[in-house]
Amino acid sequence: MKKIATLLLCGFLCLGTSAQEILTPNVTTEAGPIEGYEANGLMIYKGIPFAAPPVGELRWKAPQPVKHWTKTLETKKYAPGPIQGTPSAEYSEDCLYLNVWSPAKKTDEKLPVLVWIYGGGFVFGSTADPNYDCEELARKGGIILASVNYRVGQLGFLTLPELSAENKKHISGNYGIMDQIVALQWIKKNIARFGGDPNKVTIFGESAGAISVSMLCASPLAKGLFQGAISQSGGSFGPTRPTSYPGENMKTLADAEKDGKRLMQALGAKSVAELRAMDASKFSAQGLGTCSWPVVDGRVIPDDQSVLYAKGKYNDVPVLIGYNSDEGASFSFGVNSKETYESSTKNRYGKFADELLKAYPYTDEDGGKQSRDLMRDAAFGWQTWNWARLQAKTGKSKVFLYYFDQHPDHPKGSPNFGKGSYHGQDVNFVFQHMDKFERPDVDRPLSEIMGKYWVNFAKYGDPNGEGLPVWPTFNNTTPQTMHLTYPNPSADKVPSEEALKVLDTYFTWRRTAEGKAWAK
């Protein structure tokens, strides 16, 4: 009888241990219990708070710890995105929430984690965007997906002397980047409860999300929070400039503070207290592009990233970085003739304009694409190529460069003649959104390949794997990029490399005393 009782007790204890290891919709985070839901083999949790609501006195402050709770919090739907554009119930100043998709069956599986950071030019974006749904990619093969909200626009990046004076480090702005860092800290502390490995985290993003990825790679505050980085059409390696241009968006703290003072006057406020008392919607439509970008503050973003990387002062992790073939089609506003193209080029590039116009000529033979490529490369191509070159030179981790070029060949005379892959086209390919493809026969296979590359990179720090075209690491001796196009994805030369070298002379000059003085 005693033996039977002992066996029953042992069985009960074993059952209890096993039950604790099984991942269920109910998870207890460090701050309190949450309840998600199960869908097609995934445990999904949406709207998990990772920081206190940045409202009232916390507006324009670094994210603060979330208050603990005891009652189970239902996390079954997306939280509102940050304030942006037209006021809507979809957006709220109370926006610091994240989402988790886990295929783990038990909490001790230690699955790799991919953390998505959305784009939107730092003025738009939300994890609730259907294009960013992580469900299909999470099913791709043994990884956990997470996505994080962060503040955008003036609520995320306003810089003012008065705000800097409040701060112990005498800095302001970059609140949206700090949100991302605190979200990664939350993941570091909590992801094991969802079956994830806190020491195998890869960050990835597109556009402003990809720029954020590069900034996190350069920020000492993010050190140790991730072990890999994927940048899709991003990078922030241009020098600071008082007047922003694509690829030269960064400003010094002092210049950004001047912009903040002008915005404060435009809003009719005389103090930060008055600004904090204003309805949050005031900051969604008042000059959207003003005071809505990260700045070089000396702490969150210590310096010009090209300078930091040249000195080896960055978070040296494997990176998979690239851009699309016709990014310029989305940003060449008003440049619709040879005359306007040449005029805008001379206005921005000064004495380098003539050389760049030769490297990137306007021609009807290609539908004007070469002229759009100057915009593409200034904003994305050069940023990514320079990142690859610098890390290959000063780092120890692997670098993988890609060029996404998936599009039909449009006939001459059609409105789309010469058009390549537009900005953001790659997002649905990565997220496996098969229902959104225009040409399923060629788009679906490429999406499958890209999904495997991204998952492999999250697992191993290397995209290569069985059955996939070989993707060589980037090096400065024989630089190659992976051309992502179907039916023949393959490694080849860096596109427009000679033109990129011309553009590189401009960016190098801009860091000289003459170049700095000219830009003011």
Catalytic-labelled residue, pool 423, 433, 447, 496: 423
Would residue 327 show up in a list of annotated catalytic residues for this protein?
Answer: yes
Judged by DSSP in three states, 505 sits in: helix
Which residues sit opposite 48 in a β-bridge? 98
From the list 164, 207, 236, 344, the catalytic residue is 207
Report d(CA 214, CA 504) in Å as an integer: 19
Q: Which of 327, 371, 407, 447 is catalytic?
A: 327
Three-class secondary structure assignment of 200-259: EEEEEEECHHHHHHHHHHHCHHHCCCCCEEEEECCCCCCCCCCCCECCECCCEHHHHHHH
Across the chain, which distance is largest between two alpha carbons, in Å? 97
Task: Give the 3-state secondary structure of residue 487.
Answer: coil
Question: 471: which residues sit within 8 A by CB, 6+ positions away?
Answer: 400, 402, 453, 463, 464, 482, 491
Question: How many CB atoms neighbour CB 105 within 10 A?
Answer: 13
* Ordered strands of the 97-102 beta sheet: 37-39, 42-49, 97-102, 144-148, 111-117, 196-206, 228-232, 319-324, 399-404, 481-484, 490-492
Beta bridge partners of 46: 76, 99
Instruction: State how far the Cα of 61 lies from the Cα of 424, in Å rounded to an integer.
Output: 31
Q: Is 207 one of the annotated active-site residues of the chain?
A: yes
Phi, psi of 288 (to 5 degrees): -50, -40
- Taking the CB of residue 209, how many other CB atoms lie within 10 A of it? 28
How far, in Å, CA of 249 to CA of 256, rounded? 11
Count, residues in the chain:
520
Distance CA 437, CA 447 (A): 9
- Cα–Cα nearest to 96, from 68, 42, 128, 54: 54
Q: How far apart (Å, rounded) are the C-alpha atoms in residues 315 and 313?
A: 7
* H or E, element range at 28: strand 26-28
Going by the DSSP 8-state scheme, the letter that residue 107 receives in this structure is T
Q: Name, in order, each residue with C-beta under 8 angstroms of 489's C-beta and a sequence gap of 6 or more.
A: 446, 449, 469, 482, 483
The residues assigned a catalytic role are 207, 327, 423
